[in-house]
Amino acid sequence: MIKILFLGASWGQISPIWHLQGDIDIEILTADNQPLNPGHALAKRSFDISSENTELLRSVVEKHHIDYVLCFASDVGQKSQTIISKELGNFYNPVETIEILTNKYLFRDFLNQESIQKTYFKKIIESDLGDIKILKSIRNNLPLVSKPILGSGSKGVRFILEGTDLEKIKDSFTYSDSIILESYIKKEGKQICGDGFFQNGKLVNFTAGDGLFYEQNQFQIPYAESFPSTHSDKIINEAKTKIERILNLSGFVRGNINFDVIIHNGEVYIIEVAPRSGGNFIPEIIKQHSGIDLIDAFIKNSIDPGYIFSQKKITNNFVSSFMIHSLEEGILGEILIDKQLEPYIIQKHFFYKAGDAVRIFKSGSDAIGNIQLLFPSQSIQLEIMKSINNLILIKLK
């Protein structure tokens, strides 16, 4: 019997647990400091421990004779997974590499030091907001984006476009004791998002899609991803080449990656390269798009020290993943899905039920559910996704 401890049990991290359900040779355990997260209900045993708490996780691994520790679709547990995997004698990427790719300050510093991308960035703590010199420096470098140093799913990301927006910086401190302020780069066209797999110095899979955002909303939050991307092959290849360079220079050895890229003045600008799979069910929708199973690759890469990714694209379907959400806080009444969408729906997940309290959609963790769609053509996909927010409505009590 193989024992696997999953760090994180949220809806966005549940896919590999589903993938392994029914395997009688595998016992699933979960560690997450949110006791109501759904992954716990699928585990043989669960632990109320943060995926950042390496020391407590190590004691669980030792006491329960865990064979493998996996962390899916979240930056927060990557360092714990790496340290414990190394101690267990399993495959791991260098800790220093994981820190560079998950710590937003170290990542920007790395890009600057390696002359990959040079932009303004500054790390601050909350008390710095009372320092006149620091505030002057912030004002002189507007527009900026403030982000927690560690985190994913757009948590605490705020846009400081002018002096009157400075109060928004405090929102980022809700998620972290220290944050990064970095240059706001205005994108041209849709943001490029997706997942891939890296081995032997190459991205042997690089699946790029379009991220759909509330561009005018103060949070500019992503609510959907569509595959394939509408950007040209030239742009996609430039992004792939730049990300390969980042992974090689950072010391990344092998595994799943998630990326966010924008185009600015015709040039590729890297927002993020994370050493993990993406959230919002991106690996699931990629499987519907191309036939590539990046969840299977994630599991096998973690438990097989000699794993070689050899999957080939077998389809080119037009698919989208939409996060069902509310722009108001309240009590959930109904989720109304327009009949126009019914022919295209391939999967639905509802995280909340009628009567549950829902939050304003500020990050991926505020989503009410997820719906996955398959279209017969890209033209129909683009037309439907352009009005998707009018076709899925949330009624609050």
CATH 3.30.500.10 fits 191-396, yes or no: no
Please give the backbone phi and psi of residue 224, each rounded to the nearest 5 degrees, phi first.
Answer: -160, 160
CATH 3.40.50.20 fits 2-90, yes or no: yes
What are the extents of the domains in the chain?
2-90, 120-183, 191-396
**Angle between helix 233-250 and helix 95-102 axes, rounded to 10 deg:** 140
Contacts of 393 (CB under 8 A, 6+ apart): 335, 336, 338
> Considering the domain 120-183 in this protein, what is its CATH number?
3.30.1490.20
How do 392-396 and 68-70 pair as beta strands? unpaired
Beta strands in the chain (DSSP E): 2-7, 26-31, 45-47, 68-70, 121-125, 144-148, 158-160, 178-183, 191-199, 202-213, 222-227, 255-264, 267-274, 318-324, 330-337, 345-350, 357-358, 369-375, 392-396
| Topology agreement, domain 2-90 and domain 191-396 | no
Tell me the Cα Rg of the chain. Answer: 21
- Per-residue model confidence (pLDDT) at position 311: 98
- Which residue in this structure is represented by tokens 């846009």? 159
DSSP-based three-state secondary structure for 116? coil
* CB 65, CB 2: distance < 8 Å: no
* 153 has pLDDT over 80: no
- Per-residue model confidence (pLDDT) at position 363: 87
d(CA 79, CA 83): 6
* 343 has pLDDT over 80: yes
3-state percent breakdown (helix, strand, coil) of the chain, nearest 5: 35, 30, 35
As beta bridge partners, residue 396 has 332
pLDDT single digits (tens) 2-52: 999 999 999 999 999 999 999 999 999 999 999 999 999 999 999 999 999
* 69 has pLDDT over 90: yes
Q: Where are the alpha helices (DSSP H) in 6-47?
A: 15-20
Q: What value does the mean pLDDT take over residues 180-208?
A: 97
* 229 has pLDDT over 80: yes
Nearest to 199 by CA among 73, 84, 311, 344: 311
Nearest to 273 by CA among 102, 159, 121: 102
Q: What value does the mean pLDDT take over residues 232-242?
A: 98
Q: What value does the mean pLDDT take over residues 357-379?
A: 95
DSSP 61: H
- Per-residue model confidence (pLDDT) at position 219: 75
Please state whether 8 falls in left (phi above 0), alpha (psi between -120 and 50) or beta: left
